[in-house]
Amino acid sequence: MQNNIDKRVLKVIYSKEELEKRISELALWVNETYANTEGLIIVGLLKGCVPFLAQLIKDVTVDHKLDFMIASSYAGGSKSLGSVKIIMDMAEEISGKDVLIVEDVIDSGITLNKVKEILETRNPKSIRILTLLDKPYRRKVALNADKFGFHAPDEFLVGFGLDYQEEMRNLPYIGIFNKEYL
C-alpha cells in the first residue's frame, strides 16, 4: 500500500481495510439501536460524510430516509473559525422522527453542536450522533457522539472525506497531512 500513498500524506493511520471493518461494526450499532424504530432519518453532514455514509448504509438493514445538510465553521482551510454557517438545510420533516446525524469528524464540536441545536427545535423523537473520527481533546463545547469509529490523533487528517482545501477527500484511507504542502 505504501506505493499508492499520496505524496501529501505523511503517514496512513487508518487503512481502507481498517475503515471498512470498523464501519461494518458501526452499521451493526445502527441496526441494533434503531431495530424497533419507524421513521429513522439519517442526516449526513456534507461534504465530509460522503465516503463514510456511503459505506455505512451498505450494511444498515433498518428502513431509513437519507437527508443532508451543509454547515461549516471552516473556510476551506485547516482551522475552525468558531462561527457556524448553515449553507444547505435538510428537506425532510423530522418532527416525531428518530434522527441520526452522521459526521466524518468531531473536532471543536462547534459546527455539530449548532446543527444539533437547530434540529432540536424541530421536535424530533430523538437525535443521536455517529461520527467516524472523534477528537474529544479538541472540544470547545459540551458535545459527545453517541457512537464513534476511532479516537483520532491531534493531527490534520485527510482522506476518506476529510479534505485540505476541498481536495484529497477521495483517498481510500485516512492519513496525516504533510504540512509542507500548506
What burial class does residue 96 get, using C-beta atoms within 10 Å of its C-beta: 0-12 exposed, 13-18 middle, 19+ buried? exposed
DSSP structure string for 80-91: --S--EEEE---
Kindly state the cell numbers that stand for 143: 458535545
Is residue 134 part of the annotated active site? The answer reads no
Helix (H, G, I), strand (E, B) or coil at 19: helix
Say which of 107, 146, 154, 163 is annotated catalytic: 107
The residue ranges of DSSP E strands in 33-170, in sequence order, are 40-46, 65-72, 85-88, 98-106, 126-134, 147-151, 157-158
> Which of these, 88, 56, 47, lies nearest to 69 by C-alpha position?
88
Catalogue the active-site residues.
Answer: 107
